[in-house]
Amino acid sequence: MALNIETFSNAKGGNAFFKAIGHPLAARKARALLSELQGVPLAVYDPLGFARAFAEIYDLAGLDIQAVYVQDLEEIGADILGRQAQPVTDLPGSPAAKVLVTAFDAERLIAHIRHLLPAGAEVVSLDALRLPAEMLTNTRNYLDGLNFATNLVFFREGGGHHTRLATANYWSAYGAKAPSAWCLLMDEAGETLAEWQDPLPGANASVVIDSQEVRARFGLEAFTGSLFLHVCGIAGHDIVKYALDTYGDSDAVLSCTHDANSWPADLYGGLPAPKAGEQVLLWVQNSHPAPVPAGSVGLNLMGDETVAWLEEEIPPFGTRAIDTAALLPEARWPQQIEVQAGKHFVRPRYEVFANGAVTPPRSRIAHANVERVDLKPDPRIPELANLLGKGFILPAPILPRDRFRSIALPTPMSTCQENLPLALLAYDPEGREIATKRLGKLPRGHATMIDVADLLDGDETSWGHMELVYDFAEGGEADGWLHGLFRYEDKASGHIAETSFGAHVFNTVMTYKNEPQSYAGRAPGLSTRLFLSFGPKPYEPLCHLIYPASTPWHEKSRTNLMLHDRNGALIAEHEVQIACGGSLLWRPADYFSTSDMETAGPEGYVIIRDITCRLFGYHGLTNGEQAFSFDHMFGF
């Protein structure tokens, strides 16, 4: 029951058509359009091949479709909407009273066939679904990705739980004149709770949407659901990136995650099975104005093809919490769960509740990752060590060992990964390698976790970082899509945070398949711009910066920490140096005065800028020894 829609291609990027027809405002207009088309003989003209995707989102069964016509000779005879496609030159013989053109910017396409329209037939197009012109960046090309900078946000308020989105207006720094944020808050049933549009502040100013403030602003009851966020009138960057803090009246619920990735995927991986005494909930946010049919969302143990399906429909834009134990009762950490998503929802978050003496129970939220379906093992990767050195590196912190356990779990993240030939390397803050553990050729369904305390047994290094890398000593295959989950356990409070991400090639001038990745422009990406938000009071931000290098690079970084207030004004800056292959664990209060921090305020932030190397960063919040949160950072 997977949706037959194109969302994202690594070759072509994001697809705007599904966003255009699935936007909540478009959905309202689509219902009106389909109502008008009922009860009359209808012809469908599909010049650009969008009809199938449109029918995946909207039920066309009630329409009296006489025939489907195409422009492309290769589409003649194809099954489109249950009809055998005919050449558009046959259109004059149609008995249709109306002709639906399944395309946007259809005026020119309609002009080409106006002489072919049946006598008296009315012609309509998907332009009836268009958003207001003031919401668009490019009014001449409706399906320009800049017109659909959208994302779904897990948003919850009530019962001692709060959520807080933080980002910055980086679009005005790219030249946007007057961007704004259109927001639609929906409950678990997908019903609208509030709708609003606010102008964004000036270039690089912080943007914060807090669930407590939204609830008060609109007089809402407690809610759990989705915040649909559309940043309008943008420039330069069509991805909405954000950090999301989930916090509460108790320290027991503190977590942070990042943006949900706005392109629904077929599969997600890296969902951890529960430990004994834990409950793992998978939060599914239906991304479309169409229900997810029962039996369309499923879970299976990674490496096991037996899928347990959710026999429950999820309404349009609805949100559901799936108890993994209800579908996979035998799954236990460190096993991993694969999510069969069928392109129905964006990258999901999961919530882990730990039973214990604490009331409310400690919980944490993290996210699964997109599992690629378009990759094949690349035999060149093992051969590139002489040019790319360590090649693909997945860096993660080793937090201070007197307080934290740091745990690594490699996670298969593409359907072609039948084995994972890996090693785990550990480094001190100065970039000295202090331990190596060869993991061999792990099978797809492995359950191998590494506790850094075991790896560093006898070593007195307090903190640093680890790197998952390919290791072909025992053979194996690689595709470059290397991922891992990293779990951090506070020995004192019992609070846990976890984060997951993928490997990249870092800090080498040679390029391989768009690596080292670049945020702007072509590879190699050899500079850094990371965003560190502050979060709600009384929590204090913390950051762990890692300087990974596939081949030897500059001996020291030249990293500028720039403190800004909520309006984007620079308050103070401080340069730090990180050893190549090393890391830096810090808090803003380590480098900025109390006065400067107060001027920045809780909606201030730090931009981490380095033009000499690419750093990888992790951010979080802490409240003494009561709780902490941790996830990888985003840049722009």
- Decide which of 543 and 535 is more confident: 543
Q: Count Cβ atoms within 10 A of the Cβ of residue 591 and give its class: 0-12 exposed, 13-18 middle, 19 or more buried.
A: middle
Domain boundaries, position 494: 381-632
Whether the Cβ atoms of residue 147 and residue 136 lie closer than 8 Å to each other: yes
Predicted local confidence at residue 311, as pLDDT: 97
Q: CA-to-CA distance for 274 and 325, rounded, in angstroms?
A: 8
Q: Are residues 209 and 338 in the same domain?
A: yes
Q: Average of pLDDT values for 239-259?
A: 91
Q: Average of pLDDT values for 241-247?
A: 94
pTM of the complete model:
0.95
Q: Are residues 110 and 235 in the same domain?
A: no
pLDDT at 302 over 90: yes
Predicted local confidence at residue 359, as pLDDT: 60
Is residue 1 assigned to a domain? no
Predicted local confidence at residue 358, as pLDDT: 53
Tens of pLDDT along 74-106?
A: 999 999 999 999 999 999 999 999 999 999 999
Nearest CA-CA partner of 21 in 6, 11, 36:
6
Predicted local confidence at residue 251, as pLDDT: 86
Whether the Cβ atoms of residue 187 and residue 252 lie closer than 8 Å to each other: no
Q: Are residues 479 and 554 in the same domain?
A: yes
Whether the Cβ atoms of residue 587 and residue 544 lie closer than 8 Å to each other: no
Phi, psi of 447 (to 5 degrees): -135, 55
Tens of pLDDT along 107-155?
A: 999 999 999 999 999 999 999 999 999 999 999 999 999 999 999 999 9
Residue recorded with tokens 């830096």:
584
pLDDT at 184 over 60: yes
Count up the domains in the chain and report the number.
3
pLDDT at 357 over 70: no
Q: Average of pLDDT values for 38-52?
A: 97
Q: Are residues 485 and 593 in the same domain?
A: yes
* CB contact set of 543 (below 8 Å; sequence gap of 6+): 532, 585, 586, 587, 588, 606, 608, 617, 618, 619, 620, 633
pLDDT at 13 over 70: no
Q: CA-to-CA distance for 231 and 466, rounded, in angstroms?
A: 37
Q: CA-to-CA distance for 58 and 288, rounded, in angstroms?
A: 10
Predicted local confidence at residue 385, as pLDDT: 82
Q: Which of 412-416, 532-536, 621-625 has the lowest mean pLDDT?
A: 621-625
Q: Average of pLDDT values for 598-607?
A: 94
Q: Are residues 436 and 556 in the same domain?
A: yes
**Long-range contact set of residues 601-604: C-beta below 8 Å, sequence gap at least 24:** 601/534, 601/565, 601/566, 602/534, 602/535, 602/536, 602/537, 603/166, 603/206, 603/208, 603/534, 603/565, 603/566, 604/206, 604/534, 604/563, 604/564, 604/565, 604/566, 604/571
Is residue 622 assigned to a domain? yes
Is residue 374 assigned to a domain? no
Q: CA-to-CA distance for 9 and 349, rounded, in angstroms?
A: 22
pLDDT at 592 over 70: yes
Residue 205 CB neighbours (<10 A): 20
pLDDT at 470 over 80: yes
Q: Are residues 65 and 26 in the same domain?
A: yes
Domain boundary among 333, 367, 401: 367
Q: Are residues 226 and 329 in the same domain?
A: yes
We report the CATH number of the domain holding residue 77 as 3.40.50.720
Is residue 298 assigned to a domain? yes
Q: Are residues 415 and 476 in the same domain?
A: yes
Q: Are residues 514 and 428 in the same domain?
A: yes
Tokens for 199? 């102008």
Q: Are residues 155 and 229 in the same domain?
A: yes
Q: Are residues 305 and 183 in the same domain?
A: yes
What is the DSSP pairing of strand 464-470 with strand 8-9?
unpaired
Q: Are residues 58 and 102 in the same domain?
A: yes
